[in-house]
């Protein structure tokens, strides 16, 4: 215990020796040195290639979600399910915004966003499932949202403090995926109640 405490004290001393910020001239020198790297400076602490790879998987996931929600939106129209169809459309648009944010960040990091339809569903974490009826559509969307929640949470844990901008973006997206999952779960619960009510009137 005592030894550990001593070690901690030594570490604190070392930290205090480091200047809080590199001096301005040094910051400017580093910023100019690799100007072609855009937003990525020498202070970038994450493994850039891995972050870009993860973001491209997230991009594929979002694009598959856009396609699935669009399909569900068009199929749900006109079958006494307008509120749900509208919800599908809203989700499709929000997934598209996520895809755009992610693609933008990939470019900022010096990577290239992969929009290729070849292998899109293989790169995506969530699946494109059409669903035979409204309940199946909602269930499949809920499954996809839960997968997205898990994979964004994992990415956030991986990035940790090493790339605060990507992390903040992912946290924003994660919060919205949680809202999506919650909306879908509410729809399923409402439909369940509705059916139970109808069953009682029948029997
Ligand atoms: Fe999304
Ligand atoms: Fe979502």
Domain ranges of the chain: 48-197
Ligand 1 center to 126 CA (angstroms)? 11
CA neighbor of 57 nearest in space, from 128, 121, 8? 121
User: What is the whole-number distance in angstroms between the Cα of residue 180 and the centre of ligand 2?
Assistant: 5
pTM for the structure as a whole: 0.80
186 C-alpha to center of ligand 2: Å? 15
What is the whole-number distance in angstroms between the Cα of residue 15 and the centre of ligand 2?
42
Looking at residue 9, its pLDDT comes to: 58
User: Measured in angstroms, how far is the CA atom of residue 194 from the centroid of ligand 2?
Assistant: 25
Lowest mean pLDDT among 8-22, 78-92, 163-177, 186-200: 8-22
pLDDT tens digit string along 132-181? Answer: 999 999 999 999 999 999 999 999 999 999 999 999 999 999 999 999 99
CATH T-level topology, domain 48-197: Ferritin (1.20.1260)
CB 92 within 8 A of CB 145: no
pLDDT (average), residues 105-130: 95
Average pLDDT estimate for 99-103: 98
User: Higher pLDDT residue, 91 or 37?
Assistant: 91
Question: If we measure between CA atoms, which residue out of 132, 141, 154, 150 comes closest to residue 187?
Answer: 141
Give the model's pLDDT for residue 203.
42
Ligand 2 centre distance from Cα of residue 96 (Å): 10
Instruction: Name the closest ligand to CA 144.
Output: 2
Tell me the chain's radius of gyration from C-alpha atoms: 23
């Amino acid at each position: 215990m005592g030894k550990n405490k001593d070690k901690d004290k030594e570490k604190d001393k070392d930290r205090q020796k480091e200047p809080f910020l590199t001096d301005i001239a040094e910051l400017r020198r580093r910023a100019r040195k690799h100007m072609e790297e855009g937003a990525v400076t020498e202070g970038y602490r994450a493994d850039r290639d891995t972050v870009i790879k993860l973001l491209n998987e997230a991009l594929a996931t979002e694009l598959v979600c856009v396609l699935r929600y669009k399909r569900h939106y068009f199929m749900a129209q006109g079958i006494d399910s307008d509120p749900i169809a509208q919800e599908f459309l809203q989700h499709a648009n929000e997934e598209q915004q996520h895809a755009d944010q992610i693609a933008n960040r990939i470019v900022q990091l010096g990577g290239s966003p992969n929009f290729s339809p070849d292998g899109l569903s293989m790169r995506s974490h969530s699946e494109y499932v059409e669903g035979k009826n409204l309940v199946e559509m909602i269930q499949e969307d809920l499954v996809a949202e839960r997968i997205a929640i898990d994979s964004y949470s994992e990415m956030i844990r991986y990035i940790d403090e090493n790339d605060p901008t990507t992390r903040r973006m992912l946290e924003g997206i994660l919060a919205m995926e949680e809202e999506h999952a919650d909306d879908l779960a509410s729809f399923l619960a409402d439909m369940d109640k509705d059916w139970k009510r109808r069953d009682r009137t029948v029997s």
